[in-house]
Amino acid sequence: INPTQNLKNLVSYPLGVAVNPRLLHENESYRKIVASEFTGLTAENHMKMALIHPEANRFDFSQADDIVSFAQAHQQRMHGHTLVWHNQTATWMKEFQGDQKAWEDMLKNHIQTVVKHFKGKVKGWDVVNEAFLDDGSLRPNIWSDHIPDYLAKSFIWAHEADPDALLFYNDYGQDGKPKKMQAILHVVEDFKRRQIPIHGLGLQMHISILSKNEQLKEVIQQATATGLQIHFSELDVAVNPQNISDYQYDEPSKKEQIQKYELLFQAFEKVPMAQRYGITFWNVGDQDSWLRGYFKRPKEYPLLFDENYLRKPAYQALFQTLDKV
Tell me: does residue 204 bind ligand G3I (CB under 6 A).
yes
- Please tell me the count of residues contacting ligand G3I according to CB under 6 A: 10
290 contributes a contact to ligand G3I by CB under 6 A: yes
Smallest separation (angstroms) from ligand G3I to the CB of 18 = 7
Interacting residues of 303 by C-beta distance below 8 A, sequence separation 6+: 236, 281, 283, 284, 285, 286, 288, 289, 312, 314
246 counts as binding ligand G3I under rule CB under 6 A:
no
Q: Are 147 and 107 in contact (CB under 8 A)?
A: yes
Residue of closest CB approach to ligand G3I: 290
Q: How far is the CB of 9 from ligand G3I (least distance, A)?
A: 27
CA distance 151 to 140: 13
Q: Is 296 in the site for ligand G3I (CB under 6 A)?
A: no
Distance CA 44, CA 54 (A): 17
- Indicate whether 87 belongs to the interface with ligand G3I (CB under 6 A): yes
For residues 129 and 224, which CB has a smaller minimum distance to ligand G3I in the complex?
129
Is residue 286 at the binding interface for ligand G3I, with CB under 6 A as the rule? no
Catalytic residue among 234, 256, 262, 300: 234
User: How far is it, in rounded angstroms, from Cα 101 to Cα 119?
Assistant: 26
The answer to whether 15 and 9 have CB atoms below 8 angstroms apart is no
Smallest separation, CB 289 to ligand G3I (Å):
8
Tell me if 44 contacts ligand G3I by CB under 6 A: yes
Give yes or no for residue 234 binding ligand G3I (CB under 6 A).
Answer: yes
Neighbours of 105 (CB within 10 A): 12
Residue among 205 and 317 whose Cβ is closer to ligand G3I: 205
Q: Which of residues 170-189 bind ligand G3I (CB under 6 A)?
A: 172
CA dist., res. 280 & res. 205, Å (int): 9
Residues 51-70 that bind ligand G3I (CB under 6 A): none
Query: Is 234 an annotated catalytic residue?
Result: yes
3 to 42, contacts with ligand G3I by CB under 6 A? none
Distances (CA, A) of 294 to 25, 307, 311: 22, 18, 24
Binding site for ligand G3I (CB under 6 A): 44-45, 87-88, 129, 172, 204, 234, 290, 294
Task: Please give the positions annotated as active site.
Answer: 234
